[in-house]
């Protein structure tokens, strides 16, 4: 995980001038066996998965006090967390993911879980990528819950059977199937114009166009030469081309609404992370029966991932025993199996039992296990870059997607400008 200075992280996470204040704040004392958990799991499947955690904690005499904040990609929850920390009212536990974990850790606000990790043998049990992501400056700063694969394409099996279609392995095949559906009056691809959802589709297209190595050059290393590459231009063009297969007019709506469109047969396909599979399952739709799940065209060998994690705020350390017990519980194999089955994700444990997994989860396990050469960390879901860079890229991609007057070449130049500017901001004075 990329390291940042405390000063830079403070400015990024809390805003200018907030760093020293944040370091002096303490959360008010609460019952030692009660943990307030701030997160953004609010859909039907997400709530069920969170309830699994809460029920398991209850057997340890620890009360899970839920603080769920609606909003896709955790945008609302992160804002609430910042305001609560500044007000001296930080939660005991927070859903933090990827790069943002290092930023909060650099502020000195998180409980180190080195002892739990050592006694639980995390370094051997966890997938190397998952274990690396929860470390900062040599310390374990969070507990990983599950691994999401984002480059999934779901298809309505009834509609595919009706029109004699098969899942597309290439974009040429996708376009032929989509055109056949369009001529029959069927929306081929469910989609929302919500910025994070558009950007999630875009990062998937980048992966399809050029693979994990180029993807990392763009979003992890922020290589300016990569932003001039024609492969980025082609991914941008495909993003806008896909609009012809989407609903008209295209509106901003929650991802659950797009999933419902697929479930009801109002759309034939949907591209989204495997939390969408968990939601479809929660509605009573069985994977491989009501709907199919395959990799997005030309990404079958790749895994665009996001890893859910829970971090513990240290504050007064009065909750340390309960926080460490939560971390211990999360890594247990039974909890991993139950939670991820409902959530749609896969366990963070190497050698997890795949016997009870559906085909979508088994494929996710197989591809992720190939290691870094097959893996790409999601930009949109905070795995690849800092918050300011991520937000700026998401905004620009959304602007390009929704404005017919903006060309792909213009968007490519603006993305390069954004990365250059945010890279300069991150440099020490």
Distances (CA, A) of 7 to 11, 26, 197: 6, 19, 31
Torsional class of 272: left (φ above 0), alpha (ψ -120 to 50), beta (otherwise):
beta
Contact 400, 408 (CB under 8 A): yes
Element (H, E) at 237: helix 230-241
Two tokens, residue 47: 């709530």
Q: Specify the pLDDT at position 197.
A: 97
Same fold, 6-147+307-368 and 152-303+379-425: yes
**Alpha carbon 251 to its chain's center:** 22
Contact 147, 307 (CB under 8 A): yes
Contact 330, 126 (CB under 8 A): no
Distance in angstroms (rounded) separating the CA atoms of residues 384 and 394: 13
Q: Specify the pLDDT at position 317.
A: 85
Element (H, E) at 392: helix 387-402
Distance in angstroms (rounded) separating the CA atoms of residues 325 and 147: 21
User: Exposure of 144 by Cβ count < 10 A (0-12 exposed, 13-18 middle, 19+ buried)?
Assistant: buried
Strands 303-312, 143-149: parallel, antiparallel or unpaired by DSSP?
antiparallel
Kindly report the pTM of this predicted structure: 0.90
Distances (CA, A) of 402 to 236, 245, 253, 397: 12, 15, 14, 9
429 residues of the chain, pLDDT tens digit each: 444 444 344 434 444 333 323 333 333 334 448 999 999 899 999 999 999 999 999 999 999 999 988 877 677 888 888 888 888 888 999 998 888 898 899 999 999 999 999 999 999 999 999 999 999 999 999 999 999 999 999 999 999 999 999 999 999 999 999 999 999 999 999 999 999 999 999 999 999 999 999 999 999 999 999 999 999 999 999 999 999 999 999 999 999 999 999 999 999 999 999 999 999 999 999 999 999 999 999 999 999 999 999 999 987 788 999 999 999 999 999 999 999 999 999 999 999 999 999 999 999 999 999 999 999 999 999 999 998 999 999 999 999 999 999 999 999 999 999 999 988 765 544
Which residue do the tokens 């370091």 mark? 23
Two tokens, residue 165: 């279609």
Distance in angstroms (rounded) separating the CA atoms of residues 198 and 171: 18
CA atoms within 13 A of residue 15's CA, in its CB half-sphere: 8
Contact 193, 251 (CB under 8 A): yes
297-331 residues labelled b (16+ CB within 10 A) or e (exposed): bbbeebbbbbbbbbbbbbbeebbeebbbbbbbbbb
- Chosen CATH of 6-147+307-368 out of 3.90.870.30, 3.30.530.20, 1.10.8.10, 3.40.190.10: 3.40.190.10
Strands 135-136, 139-140: parallel, antiparallel or unpaired by DSSP?
antiparallel
**Alpha carbon 309 to its chain's center:** 10
Domain assignments of the chain as residue spans, ordered by start: 6-147+307-368, 152-303+379-425
Distance in angstroms (rounded) separating the CA atoms of residues 122 and 60: 21
Distance in angstroms (rounded) separating the CA atoms of residues 124 and 121: 6
Two tokens, residue 405: 């007057």
- The class (CATH top level) of 152-303+379-425 is alpha beta
Distance in angstroms (rounded) separating the CA atoms of residues 323 and 312: 6
How many residues are recorded in the chain? Answer: 429
Strands 139-140, 93-95: parallel, antiparallel or unpaired by DSSP?
unpaired
Q: Specify the pLDDT at position 19.
A: 37
């Amino acid at each position: 995980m990329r390291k940042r200075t405390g000063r830079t992280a403070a400015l990024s996470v809390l805003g200018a001038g907030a760093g020293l204040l944040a370091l002096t704040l303490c959360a008010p004392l609460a019952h030692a066996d009660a943990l307030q958990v701030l997160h953004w799991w609010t859909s039907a499947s997400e709530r069920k998965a969170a309830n699994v955690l809460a029920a398991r904690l209850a057997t340890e005499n620890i009360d899970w006090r839920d603080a769920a904040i609606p909003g896709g990609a955790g945008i609302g929850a992160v804002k609430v967390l910042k305001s609560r920390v500044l007000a001296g009212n930080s939660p005991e536990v927070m859903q933090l993911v990827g790069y943002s974990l290092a930023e909060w850790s650099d502020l000195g606000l998180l409980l180190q879980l080195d002892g739990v990790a050592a006694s639980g043998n995390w370094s051997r049990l966890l997938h190397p990528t998952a274990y690396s992501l929860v470390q900062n400056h040599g310390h374990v700063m969070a507990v990983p819950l599950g691994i999401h694969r984002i480059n999934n394409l779901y298809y309505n099996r009834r509609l595919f059977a009706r029109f004699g279609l098969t899942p597309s392995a290439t974009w040429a095949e996708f376009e032929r199937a989509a055109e056949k559906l369009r001529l029959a009056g069927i929306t081929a691809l469910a989609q929302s114009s919500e910025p994070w959802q558009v950007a999630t589709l875009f990062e998937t297209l980048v992966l399809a166009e050029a693979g994990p190595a180029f993807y990392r050059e763009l979003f992890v290393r922020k290589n300016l030469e990569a932003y001039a590459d024609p492969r980025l231009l082609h991914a941008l063009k495909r993003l806008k081309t896909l609009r012809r297969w989407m609903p008209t007019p295209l509106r901003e709506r929650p991802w659950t609404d797009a999933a419902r469109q697929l479930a009801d047969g109002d759309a034939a396909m949907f591209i989204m992370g495997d939390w969408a599979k968990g939601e479809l399952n929660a509605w009573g739709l069985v994977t491989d029966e009501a709907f199919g799940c395959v990799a997005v065209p030309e990404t079958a060998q790749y895994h665009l991932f996001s890893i859910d994690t829970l971090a513990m705020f240290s504050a007064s350390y009065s909750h340390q025993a309960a926080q460490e017990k939560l971390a211990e519980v999360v890594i247990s194999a039974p909890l991993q199996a139950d939670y991820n089955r409902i959530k749609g994700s896969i366990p963070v444990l190497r050698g997890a039992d795949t016997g009870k997994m559906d085909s979508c989860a088994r494929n996710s396990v197989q591809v992720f296990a190939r290691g870094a050469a097959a893996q790409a960390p999601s930009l949109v879901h905070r795995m690849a870059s800092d918050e300011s860079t991520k937000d700026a890229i998401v905004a620009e991609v959304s602007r390009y997607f929704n404005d017919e007057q903006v060309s792909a070449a213009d968007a490519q130049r603006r993305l390069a400008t954004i990365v250059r500017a945010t890279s300069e901001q991150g440099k020490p004075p």
